[in-house]
Structure 1
Amino acid sequence: MMLPQGWVEAEASEVGTWGSGGTPKSTEATYYNGNIPWIRSGDLPDQEITKYEIQITEAGLNACAAKWVPTNSVLVALYGATIGKIGITTYPVTTNQAVAFCTPCEAINPRYLAKYFLSIREKLISLAQGGAQPNISQIILKQQIVPLPPLAEQRRIVAKLDSLTARIARTRKKMEHVSNTVSDLKKKILLFAFSGKLSNSEYHHEKCSVEVKSVFQDDQERGQWSETSLPSSWKWVEFNQFFSDVTDSKKKLPANLYMDSGEFPVIDQGKSIIGGYTDRKDLIHTASDPVIIFGDHTRSVKLIHPPFVQGADGVKVLSPSENVCVDYAYYAMLAIEIPDKGYSRHMKFVRRAMWPLPPLPEQNNIVRKINHVFARANLIEKEAKRALSLLERLESALLAKAFRGELVPQDPDDEPASVLLDRVRAERAAAPKPKRGRRQSIQDMPLPRKRQTEKHG
């Protein structure tokens, strides 16, 4: 890449002092709940660090490889779920071993360096080494070539990026609000539908009988409905009057036998409609009409048309009764409130629930109305997601443009980066090697005011 006038390339190892941290022994209570900020990779917000969860004591600091990291240092998560995340220190901190830090030299603006690492995050992740838990490593970070403009231009680039990304963030928040609003709308439509308020019928509402209504009171062992008042032509029915459980326990395909492609889809309890594929004809479910798949552990609900093969774990196959429209039953499963018990089983809540059953023509009318509203809502949601995707691409494009020297104009009066970098190199070469001595004490560091943190352990 042709560099703009006044720019120079430098290895990341040249533009700062690098290091990483350590973790005090977790079973030693005296090492925790002190007043030394201890940053883990999950604390990195891709911007200035303003909060963290854990503080360690000076004894904890001295008992491990953690070390003080000065203000205006750039932190990078090396591995784990947050690999590649970035942070900038706004006060002295310490870190664990999953976080590398670079304290920049005077030739580079800390926020410029942080934004550069943000711009190459995907590249860094692709370079990570290791099987089960890929690790970027300090070596990889220090080998990266940083395009270095004059210091004054670095500040202009950072200011311009801050302005543009703030506008992107505001737009992103609006699009996320649209998605949340659509989700809330769907919930309200389902609430109206299964209390009889969505259909065109002129049925008046009246309370359920005391005997039926009593099954809803303070019972956490069954699925719940927000309202128990129904039109007079509706009735509450039990599970076995609404569904048949047609799960075939002898025909289930373990997840390790899924294929990326095949003749038949495998339906499991995961979020995706299709978990995988298989060519096993002997495992095809016997259902000839559409059925509902319920995730016993995940509470996922899917409307599935045969042929299909059941996944092995937690899959329940439900077929609606003769007087229940399958689409109506599907929406009822989406509408009912099933308590979240983690990875425990949830089918018992479905079995013990009461189900609102209108006449079949009204079920079809309700389904048509839900489909109509959901189709429009899905279109809005799709456009909002598309906008969010475009915003992500726009942010990446702006970062790339910035580090090609195309975001702000160059100023010929700026001191070239090469001059400043040569001066830094000369000063480093002339400086005596630091002597080994005591670690900086907590008394030497200007710490943030002690604040409430979570107890460790």
Structure 2
Amino acid sequence: MNEKELPAGWAWARLGDLGEYINGRGFKKSEWADDGLPIIRIQNLTGSGASFNYFAGDLDDRHTVDDGDLLVAWAATLGTHIWRGPKAAVNQHIFKVIPYVEKKFLHYLIDHKVSELVAASHGSGMVHVTRAKFDHLQVALPPLAEQCRIVDVLEGHLSRLDAAADEVGRSAKRSGHVWSAVLNSVAQGALGGVLTAAQSVNVSDVAEVSGGIQKQQKRRPVDNAYPFLRVANVGRGSLDIEDVHKIELFPGELEKYRLSEGDLLVVEGNGSPDQIGRAAMWKGGLGDVVHQNHLIRVRPGPRLHPRYLELIWNAPLVTNQLREVARSTSGLYTLSTSKVKSVRIPVPQLSDQIRLVEAAEQWETHATSAQETLRSAARKGSSLRRAILNRAFTGALVPQNPADEPAAVLLARIQADCAAQPKAKRTRRASTAPRKAKATATPLAKPKPAPAPSPAPAPTHAVQQEFDL
């Protein structure tokens, strides 16, 4: 959208013009306390870290937030969040935002611009956006009154999309639970009318267990390179061979480490106990292939059907046993060839294994179809969300009202107010025993829109037709 395409009353602005962005404070481990103010870190905003650290010392008011404040994570996982919780401290890599425009409008606008912010990010390890690139990102700004109308309509559409996405997520979980039950039924020898009696034996009694090749500098692929499967290639019951690295082999190693069709590759260790021991069967397709030392190869003997072994290995009945075997006194979870050899698995007659595999694969066909339907629904929901946000920030979601105060006037007032504002003095307070606060500059108040008659509501069919999942 260029300047000529701006809707009536809109104006170009920089993201930095639309609010004050106050970076959080770094907190050392030595400053953590058992109680006090919870410290909001990025993982607390994204849901990847549920536990909080606490700070009980003196803290600038600018580094605290209250329920309803707007936060922007500008490193690692970029995005905006409305804080819902008690008074808290803000960690570094998060902006506390004092908006000069409608708060929720700014919240959705920044989220809409996340892809541009990610493209502008840099850094090795933890990716982050520089303050200059954040502040200077160009955005189209509607009049303040239209910002409020956009938020009202936008939240109605997004709430329906969120509800649909939640239901898709719940359905996906239910589908996963059904497949886990199928795998357990195979391990129990009772599925689809098949009822078998199975002897429980050690893996070492019916399979050959061996380790893989350690990746080292001397094994950079040069003269005798072969495909090399890593932990990243092994899912639970599936292999991803889109990105397969290569490794240099030395004389005699290919015969020792080469995979055969039907070999089961077992993940040796994982940070998550739920993923320990996940495994997938090698089906061939890349010629001669070897594997990493963090994958354990289980080669089934004549008493085991390879597909049966893969199914029962990923069944909860066996994975629970793997977690117990892998548990260590240090709290880490790792498997070894000796631990894998000691795992006990049910081994019915080979003919019964084949019948159980056939019954399970019928269920798998239905499960795969259901999962693809759910993935398609999730993709469509994401596409609809992008379309709605695009309409919101190009002036196509709600009608313009000629009586609205133009955004250019709003921006001029913001600039004048900022120029007139004395720099805020930092105040400090003790979390446990507040001190008497020093006088500080009054925060810039959000400009109020000029009185305007209520515009006609947006047609109900304007975007609704896109929401039929």
TM bucket, shorter chain: 0.7 to 0.9
Work out which of the residue numbers 290, 293, 301 in structure 1 matches 2:262. Answer: 290
Deviation at 1:374, TM superposition (A): 0.7
Please give the alpha-carbon distance, in whole angstroms, between the structure 1 residues aligned to 2:359 and 2:426: 76
Partner of 1:184: 177
Partner of 1:380: 370
Partner of 1:302: 280
TM-score by length of 2: 0.75
Work out which of the residue numbers 52, 55, 58 in structure 2 matches 1:60. Answer: 58
The change in CA–CA distance for 1:130 and 1:194 in structure 2 (over 3 A counts) is closer
2:147 aligned with 1:149, yes or no?
no
Please give the alpha-carbon distance, in whole angstroms, between the structure 2 residues aligned to 1:158 and 1:3: 19
Deviation at 1:309, TM superposition (A): 2.7
Partner of 1:235: 199
Please give the alpha-carbon distance, in whole angstroms, between the structure 2 residues aligned to 1:350 and 1:170: 43
Deviation at 1:343, TM superposition (A): 4.2
Contact 2:59–2:428 at 8 Å: present in 1 too? no
2:122 aligned with 1:129, yes or no?
yes
Work out which of the residue numbers 91, 99, 108 in structure 2 matches 1:96. Answer: 91
Deviation at 1:25, TM superposition (A): 4.0
Partner of 1:79: 75
Contact 1:189–1:370 at 8 Å: present in 2 too? yes
2:112 aligned with 1:119, yes or no?
yes
Partner of 1:276: 244
Partner of 1:11: 14
3-state DSSP class of the match of 2:63? coil
Amino acid at match of 1:328: Y
3-state DSSP class of the match of 2:201? strand
Work out which of the residue numbers 103, 110, 116 in structure 1 matches 2:103. Answer: 110
Deviation track 1:208-259 (CA, whole Å, cap 9, x = no partner) reads: xxxxxxxxxxxxxxxxxxxxxxx45x322332332122x365x565599688
Partner of 1:218: none
Please give the alpha-carbon distance, in whole angstroms, between the structure 1 residues aligned to 2:103 and 2:292: 51
Deviation track 1:416-441 (CA, whole Å, cap 9, x = no partner) reads: 22222223333333x25247474478
The change in CA–CA distance for 1:268 and 1:70 in structure 2 (over 3 A counts) is closer
2:7 aligned with 1:40, yes or no?
no
Please give the alpha-carbon distance, in whole angstroms, between the structure 1 residues aligned to 2:75 and 2:22: 15
The change in CA–CA distance for 1:199 and 1:168 in structure 2 (over 3 A counts) is closer
The change in CA–CA distance for 1:312 and 1:126 in structure 2 (over 3 A counts) is same
Please show how residues 310-349 of structure 1 align to structure 2 within 5 Å: 310-335=290-315, 336-337=318-319, 338-339=322-323, 341=327, 342-345=332-335, 347-349=337-339
Please give the alpha-carbon distance, in whole angstroms, between the structure 2 residues aligned to 1:309 and 1:27: 49
The change in CA–CA distance for 1:327 and 1:43 in structure 2 (over 3 A counts) is closer
Please show how residues 209-288 of structure 1 align to structure 2 within 5 Å: 231-232=196-197, 234-245=198-209, 247=210, 249=212, 254=216, 265-270=227-232, 271=234, 273=239, 274=241, 276-278=244-246, 284=254, 285-288=257-260
Please give the alpha-carbon distance, in whole angstroms, between the structure 2 residues aligned to 1:23 and 1:444: 24
Please give the alpha-carbon distance, in whole angstroms, between the structure 2 residues aligned to 1:255 and 1:398: 50
Partner of 2:464: none
3-state DSSP class of the match of 1:318? strand
Contact 1:243–1:319 at 8 Å: present in 2 too? yes
Please give the alpha-carbon distance, in whole angstroms, between the structure 2 residues aligned to 1:322 and 1:44: 52
Structure 2 gap ranges (5+) = 270-275, 438-469
Please give the alpha-carbon distance, in whole angstroms, between the structure 2 residues aligned to 1:117 and 1:101: 13
The change in CA–CA distance for 1:170 and 1:322 in structure 2 (over 3 A counts) is same
Deviation track 1:166-196 (CA, whole Å, cap 9, x = no partner) reads: 1111111111122111111111112222222
Deviation track 1:364-422 (CA, whole Å, cap 9, x = no partner) reads: 11111111111110111122112112212221221122101111111222222222222
2:403 aligned with 1:413, yes or no?
yes
Deviation at 1:156, TM superposition (A): 1.3
Aligned pairs, number: 398
Please give the alpha-carbon distance, in whole angstroms, between the structure 1 residues aligned to 2:370 and 2:135: 45
Structure 1 gap ranges (5+) = 204-230, 446-457
Deviation at 1:280, TM superposition (A): 5.4
3-state DSSP class of the match of 2:21? strand
The change in CA–CA distance for 1:432 and 1:317 in structure 2 (over 3 A counts) is closer
Contact 2:70–2:107 at 8 Å: present in 1 too? yes
The change in CA–CA distance for 1:41 and 1:296 in structure 2 (over 3 A counts) is closer
Please show how residues 342-361 of structure 1 align to structure 2 within 5 Å: 342-345=332-335, 347-361=337-351
2:21 aligned with 1:23, yes or no?
no
